[in-house]
Amino acid sequence: MKQKNSLPAVFLTPAMGILAVLALVPTAYAIYISFQNRELSRPDGNLIGFANYIDLFSDRRFINAIGVSLTWEAVTVGMTLLIAVGLGILLFECVSPRTRNLLTLLFLVPVILPRVSAAFVWKFAFHPLYGIATYPYKAITGQPLDLLSNPATALATVALVDVWQWGLFFAVIVLKLLETLPPQPFEAARLDHARTWEIYAFIALPMLKAPLISLAFVKMIESLRAFDLIYVMTRGGPGIATETLDMYAFSQGFIESGRISYASSMAVLMMIATSIAFTFIWKRVQ
C-alpha cells in the first residue's frame, strides 16, 4: 500500500520541480525588481520600496490601461459567447448535418490562422483607402471609413477580429455539445408546445451550463493574452485608446523607456488582480 501511495509523488515531483523553476523563479524575480528603480540602460538599481506602485496610481496611462483592459475582457468574452451560442443553435436548428460538417470546417479556419497573420489581414481589410471591409461604405457614401484611427471605434474594431477568430470556433464547440445532448427532453418540451427559444433557454442551455462556463474561463484567459492582435493592428493607438495593461507594461519596459522595474510593478499588480478575480469568479460559479 505504501509503495502505491508514493507513486503520485514520484510522478508529480519532477513536473512540479520544472514548473517551479519556470514559473516561480521569474515571478519572484519580477516581484523583487518591482521594488527597485532598474532601467535597461542602467543595470544597477536601488531598492525604492513601493515607489513604483505608488507612481502607477498617478499615471494616467496606467489608469486608462485598466479601463481598456476591463472593456476588452468584457466585450470579447461577452461577444464571443453570444455569437458562439447564437450561431451554434442556428446551425443545430436550421442546417442539415452534411452542411454542418462543411461549415464546421470553415469556422475552424480563423482560429487556426496565427494571430499575427489574422491581425495583418484585417488591418489591410480595414484600410480606409484600399481595404475590402471598408470598400462598401466608401462606394456608397464616397467618404473613406477609417475605423482604426477613430478613438471611438478602434477598440471595437480590433475586438471584432478577436470575436471572428474565437466566436466561430466556440460556435463549433457549442454545436457539438448540442449534438451530444439526449433528445428526450427536447421531444417532451415540443409535446408541451414549447417554443424553440424556450427549449434552448430553459432546457438546452441549462444542460450545457458547465461546459459553457468552462468556455467562458478559457476565453477570459485567452483575452488577457491579446497583446499580439492589438500590437499589430493599432499599437495601442489612436493615442492610448487601445492600450491594454500588458501593452503599456511592454512599452514601458522595452519600447519607450526601458523602465523594467516600473513595468514589473505593473505585471505584478496584473498578476495579483487576475488571481483574485479568477479565484472569486471560480468560487461564485462553484
Partner 1 sequence: MTKPKTLVSSIAFACLLSTGLTTLAVAAECSGTIKVLAQPRDGLTLLEDYKSEFEKLSGGASFEIDYLNENDRRAKTKADASTIGKYNVYYIDEANVALFASAGWVAPLMDYYPADYDYADFDPGRQKVATYDGKVWFAPITGGGDLMVYRKDLLEAAGIAPPKTLDEYIAAVKKLNQPDQGIYGTALRGQRGSGANVWRWMPFFKGFGGNWFDGKTPVFDGEQAVKATETYLELFKYSAPGSQTGGWDEAVGAFTSGQVAMLIESTPLVGMAIDPKSSKVAGKVGYLPPPAPLTGGGYGHGLAIGVKANKDEASKTCAGLFIAWATSKENEARRLEANQFSELNRTSIMTSPKFAELYGPDLGQALADTGKVTAVNFWQSPQWPDLGDRWGIILEELITGTRSDIKEGLDELDGFAKDLVARSQ
Say whether residue 45 binds partner 1 (CB under 8 A).
Answer: no
Handedness of CA 88, 122, 135, 73 (dihedral sign): positive
Q: Which stretch binds partner 1 (CB under 8 A): 70-78, 91-99, 219-227, 233-241?
A: 233-241
Min dist. Cβ of residue 154 to partner 1 (A): 8
Among 128, 135, 137, 222, binds partner 1 (CB under 8 A): 128
Q: Identify the residue among 93, 187, 228, 256 touching partner 1 (CB under 8 A).
A: 256
CA–CA gap between residue 53 and residue 262 (Å, rounded): 8
User: Between 77 and 148, whose beta carbon lies closer to partner 1?
Assistant: 148
Q: Which of 18-26, 71-79, 136-144, 166-174 is the region at the interface with partner 1 (rule: CB under 8 A)?
A: 136-144
Distance CA 187, CA 199 (A): 10
Q: Does 240 bind partner 1 (CB under 8 A)?
A: yes
Q: Of the candidates 67, 188, 235, 272, which one interacts with partner 1 according to CB under 8 A?
A: 235
Among the candidate windows 75-83, 126-134, 161-169, 174-182, which touches partner 1 by CB under 8 A?
126-134
Position 67 contacts partner 1 (CB under 8 A):
no
> Residue 54 and residue 50: Cα distance in Å, rounded?
6
The smaller minimum CB distance to partner 1, of residues 257 and 274, is found at: 257
Q: Is 63 in the site for partner 1 (CB under 8 A)?
A: no
The footprint of partner 1 on this chain (CB under 8 A) covers a number of residues equal to: 34
Instruction: Return the C-alpha cell found at 71.
Output: 472593456
Q: Give the footprint of partner 1 on residues 166-205 (CB under 8 A).
A: none
Q: Applying CB under 8 A, which of residues 103, 146, 194, 207 lies at the interface with partner 1?
A: 146
Which residue of 17, 67, 136, 144 would you call a contact of partner 1, by CB under 8 A?
A: 144
Kindly state whether residue 113 participates in binding partner 1, applying the rule CB under 8 A.
Answer: no
129 binds partner 1 (CB under 8 A): yes
Answer for which of 22, 24, 40, 116 binds partner 1 (CB under 8 A) is 40
Residues that bind partner 1 (CB under 8 A): 37, 39-43, 61, 127-130, 142-144, 146, 148-151, 234-241, 250-251, 254-258
